[in-house]
Chain A
Amino acid sequence: MSQDLMNTLQQAFEQNVIDIENYKKDGRKAIGCYCLYSPVELIVAAGAIPLPLCGTKNDPVAAAEEVLPRNLCPLIKSSYGFAALNTCPFFRFSDMIVADTTCDGKKKMFELMQQYKKVHVLQLPQNQNVEKSLAPWLDEVRIMKEEIEAVTGVEITTERIDAAIDLLNRERDAKKAVMDLAQIKPSPIKGSELINILFKVGFLADKEKGIGLMNTMVDHYKALAENGESPYTAKTPRILISGVPMGVGSDKVAKILEESGASVVGFENCTGYKQVFTVEKEGDRLDVLARQYLSIPCSVMSPNTGRLELLDRMIRDFKVDGVVDLTWQACHTYNVESFSVEKHLKDAHGLPMLHLETDYSDSDTEQLRVRIQAFIEML
């Protein structure tokens, strides 16, 4: 039954590529995004299809390294490689790219990406102090709205934004419900399954289909849990993965953790629980969106206290035994922040943390396995 659901998801994922092709023939636009900070509501409000483009596969990295330095984050290289090779259908579908200056590597890469697509870059503030940073960020959001209107030919009205907020709030609620399945002890769902679901649903042009699928999964796994069915026992160590985003192809750490006998119960990252929030429909909608998105606790922000608060919440709700802090190679902000996170986990929760720095390749699998197994032995 679980497998049937995963097959349905896979079919929806494959059908989606054909669907988007048809939508595009009918004149609908697609807009690619490279970061959680871009308010997707504006894309949906314009009737366009939002596509999350951050690269998660190792295949295009070698091609990217013909242009980009080797010592750069694999997510940036993968993203750029997909563009250069034109091997990602979702990049190909995009009539426009919305990208944020989330880090130095990304922002300079976007300059090079301009040769393949229209890339609209949002200048993201690096501080969440509303007095200092909201005005310039709101300006960026407003310009993004105008750019999207120009590309789609659709005027983004308040009514349209509200409809998009409703739809995306429902999608975020469904994602939260799927992720919250792992709060059950023992969890009925594996962390690698969560990655698979969140990754594939993210591309679905038909958001209702994605929401419906996720709700069915929640019902299914809840029923399993009620019958006491789980791949784990009450004694299985429960691990929270924190740090950089993960998707299908960049999920090796979650898989090794599971192979080593752990239950990965949550993801404190932008492909996981950082997506869990609710946008209110009140006042100036652009202002509301700007405030909400600016508060996302990514390590680009300084200070980034929101991340520690999110960790506190997740450690409690997901009954976490240990945290694995994942840094993609050359991601300086997450790499440096690791020190403060480890200290906070020890001081506030008495929890051990394992910091791992790696890339998308398999070359260090055994080295990672030793660290991960030793960490599990230690818990």
Chain B
Amino acid sequence: MRAAGIDIGSRSIELVILDNSGIIEARTADSGFDPMGVAGKLMDKVAFDRIVATGYGRNLFEIAFEGDTVTEIKAHARGAYHLFPDAGTILDIGGQDSKVIRTNGAGKVTKFEMNDRCAAGTGKFLEIMARSLGFTIEEFGGAAMTADDELPINSMCTVFAESEVTSLLARGEDRLKIARGLHSSVVRRAMSMLKRVSDDGPVVFTGGVANNPCMVRFLEQLTGRDVLVPSEPHMAGALGAALIAHEMMR
């Protein structure tokens, strides 16, 4: 029996297929402007018996394809529980939102918080800032870590922060220091949400932003907590959805 999970996010779509032996297929693609079209292509030529969709496109998926849906909160909690069963706190920072989830010993969600409606402190924010500083998103975190000092960034609104960065550059400031300041401001924002939901124990860090090494290091340094990052943190939601699909078949 093959179970599939698909996470239709604002920035990317992930598909995980698993059977009783474990993950047998994992795919990812950019969401683009036609997420259902991309989702359809991603599922092309893969066989599965049941699929569960999550992510912001889940409701559209449910209409377009045969499948059940769960929220990304439940999916990430399930995925993180599978990867790190002893950690009860999950921080997920994706393309357009960030969330903190607390689970009980059985992986069930007991509390969660999400960021506001805007993209402040999310992957989209980092992506736009990287672009204004002339970095690719892949090199942004590594570059920020090479700075020996940081310039504080006060704005969290993407548009205001971009203006702030522009004026710092106009003052002749070092782009590495600005990059470091931006990373630490995103971490601080995530920390205030983290504290409201859970204040001790290890934190599982999922979502695309967990691929950024600077985010991981700052999160560890500033919280003093262990930060556990899956090998493919952006797949955690799709993995959780696939596990839920697998459980539904039993």
Binding site for B on A (CB under 8 A): 352, 357, 363-364, 366-367, 369-371, 373-374, 377-378
Would B111 and A352 count as touching, CB distance under 8 A?
yes
- Tell me whether B14 is interfacial, beta carbon within 8 Å: no
Contact between chains at B72 and A370 (CB < 8 Å): yes
B57 CB to closest chain A CB, in angstroms? 10
B111–A370 touching, CB < 8 Å: no
Q: A366-B56, A367-B97 are in contact. Are A374 and B117 (CB under 8 A)?
A: no
With A374-B109, A374-B112 as known contacts, state yes or no: A367 contacts B117, CB within 8 Å: yes
Which residues of A have CB within 8 Å of B194? Answer: none
- Closest residue of chain A to B103 (Cβ to Cβ) is A378
Q: Chain A interface mostly helix, strand, loop or mixed?
A: helix
Q: Which residues of B are at the interface with A, using a C-beta cutoff of 8 A?
A: 56, 59, 70-74, 97, 108-112, 114, 116-117
In chain B, what residue has the closest Cβ to A366? Answer: B56
Give complex CA distance A369, B116 in Å: 13
Given contacts A370-B56, A370-B71, A370-B73, contact A377 B114 (CB under 8 A): no
Evaluate whether A374 and B73 lie within 8 angstroms (CB atoms) in the complex, with A352-B111, A367-B97 already known.
yes
- Does more than half of chain B's interface fall in helix, strand or loop, or is it mixed? mixed
> A371: which B residues are within 8 A, CB to CB?
114
- Once bound together, how far apart are the Cα atoms of A164 and B116, in whole Å? 46
**Contact check: which of A352, A367, A374 meets B74 at CB < 8 Å?**
A374
Task: With CB as the reference atom, state the residue of chain B lying closest to A355.
Answer: B113
* Alpha-carbon distance between A364 and B111 when the two chains are bound, in angstroms: 21
- Report how far A378 CA is from B117 CA in the complex, Å: 21
What CA separation (Å) do A116 and B150 show in the bound complex? 54
A367 to B115, CA, bound (A): 10
Q: With a CB–CB cut-off of 8 A, which chain B residues contact A363?
A: 117
Alpha-carbon distance A74/B244, docked complex (angstroms): 40
Q: Would you give the shortest CB distance from A369 to chain B, in whole angstroms?
A: 8
Chain A residues with Cβ under 8 A from B56's Cβ?
Answer: 366, 370
Given contacts A374-B74, A377-B73, 6 further A-B contacts (CB under 8 A): A367-B117, A373-B71, A374-B109, A377-B70, A377-B71, A378-B110
Q: Which one of A364, A366, A370 has the greatest number of beta carbons of chain B within 10 Å?
A: A370
With a cutoff of 8 Å between Cβ atoms, the chain A residues found around residue B111 in the complex are 352, 378
